[in-house]
Structure 1
Amino acid sequence: MSPSHGGPWPAVIFYADAGGIRPAMFDMTQHLADAGYMVLLPDLFYRYGPYGPLVPKEVFKGDVGAILGPLMATTSNVKSSEDTEALLGYLDTRADVAGGKIGAVGFCMGGGMAITSAATYPDRFAAVASFHGGNLATSAPDSPHLLAPKLKAEVYVAGADNDGSYPPDMAERLEAALATAGVRHFAETYSGAAHGWMVPDFPVHDQISAARGWEALLALFDRTLRA
């Protein structure tokens, strides 16, 4: 998705949540495009085949694991970072993309994927942001925090104080890893927010916190991708 006029523009890869491609994701990418960014929204579940579009409010009324589990099982942080090589190659073919450095942003499941991809291709990413990303610092071999020494991008991490997938001890572990690696970063917890607060079709969407998140994200990208 690109801005309506002008160009070339800085590029951003948008790693969606576990709800997959749907109208809310297009709305969010359009928000970034309206701010002057070329936005690439990959289908993280392409290995699964056709699905959805899913409606989160309906998904959360049923067995979330049974609905989203099979989709999520087809991807991972590592697989997503492998796919990012092709995404970068595609962006390199476009004359309307400005510069070789790009940004990444991920939401929920996509948060870890965005960080992993930025660490896998450190010379390509100038900025990466995670909003209500879960499992960012675990004992898993592909835990994003283990890749902190490889990051060259500036990192922004936004958590919620009502999010079991990113508890305070995990936030401390991630921030410690980033600090030890000398990564320029800023991490904060949004008080009163719940996992998924940025996404407009989530039942927990919080307009005030979302506006704050967009402001922080655009400030990050403006600072790092327009220099």
Structure 2
Amino acid sequence: MTSVQGTAVDIPTEDGVADAYLAHPGDGTPRPGVLLYQDAFGLRPHLRSMADRLAGAGYTVLVPNVFYRHGRAPVVELPEFIDPSARPDIFAGLRPVMESLTTDLAMRDAGAYLRWLEESPLVADGPVALTGYCMGARLALLTAGTHPERVAAAAGFHGARLATDAPDSPHLVAGRVTAELYFGHADDDPSLPPEQIRLLEDALTAAGVRHTCEVYTGAHHGFTQADTAAYGEEAAERHWAALLDLLKRTF
């Protein structure tokens, strides 16, 4: 495992400044870039540790606070161990913040994050990869379709609302995606029911997108997040293997 350096960075956007975490191999050599999109709980120690693990595998990883319009992370106060069933007030505070991040705003921000990576001396030339969790899986798919020239691969895990009847549903960008995609779905996930999984698969297939969609049997929504009650170690390690395989194929 490569030694890793992690730092806080600020990213100028069209609407302000997004605080972010940057992790990269300690030797300072330019490495392939990875944009990591948060889950609803946002930029916090666990996501920093995920970025560090990716950086240790040889990548320069950027984790922006996508809720920066509401303040620097953490946008809402979080316990060390997140169990929404015991603390329903957490989601009550997050829901309006999540709903305020429209697709248009998120994709405008995505352009800023991708430009920042392109200009960073720590990022190798060429397109980058994306990985996203829960709501971040939605952002990863949308970004792959909105900025195809900058995205070589994108992964999403326990994604929510990936293929709905909304006019801005992420699956509708399939025809513009040029990246290879990987999705690891949670089993029995109310936020991504079987009909949405089928619609996503059908859209990607019809568009000729290189993709893999897998359902992780027995895994709960949020299974990669070790600081939450949804965490599942076996499914989380399966996610790491799939993600690192995708990155190796890409770079």
Structure 1 contact 133–159 (Cα < 8 Å) conserved: yes
Structure 2 contact 137–157 (Cα < 8 Å) conserved: yes
* TM-score of the superposed pair, with normalisation by structure 2: 0.86
Structure 2 counterpart of 1:15, one-letter code: Y
Cα shift readout 1:46-78 (whole Å, capped 9, x = no counterpart): 111242352362544222541211221231333
The answer for the alignment partner of 1:142 in structure 2 is 168
| Structure that is richer in strand per residue | 2
Segments of 4+ in structure 1 off by > 6 A?
none
The answer for the alignment partner of 1:10 in structure 2 is 32
**From 52, 58, 80, the counterpart of 2:76:** 52
Matched, 1:30 2:52: yes
Matched, 1:71 2:71: no
Structure 2 counterpart of 1:85, one-letter code: G
Identical columns (%): 43
- Distance in 2, matches of 1:58 and 1:135, equals 21
Superposed, 1:35-184 pairs within 5 Å as 35-50=57-72, 51-55=75-79, 57-63=82-88, 64-184=90-210
Structure 2 counterpart of 1:128, one-letter code: A
Root mean square deviation of aligned Cα: 1.4
Structure 2 counterpart of 1:29, one-letter code: A
How many matched pairs? 225
Structure 1 counterpart of 2:159, one-letter code: G
What stretches of structure 2 of length at least 5 have no aligned partner? 1-22
- Distance in 2, matches of 1:89 and 1:83, equals 10
Structure 2 contact 118–125 (Cα < 8 Å) conserved: no
* TM-score of the superposed pair, with normalisation by structure 1: 0.95
Structure 1 contact 160–195 (Cα < 8 Å) conserved: yes
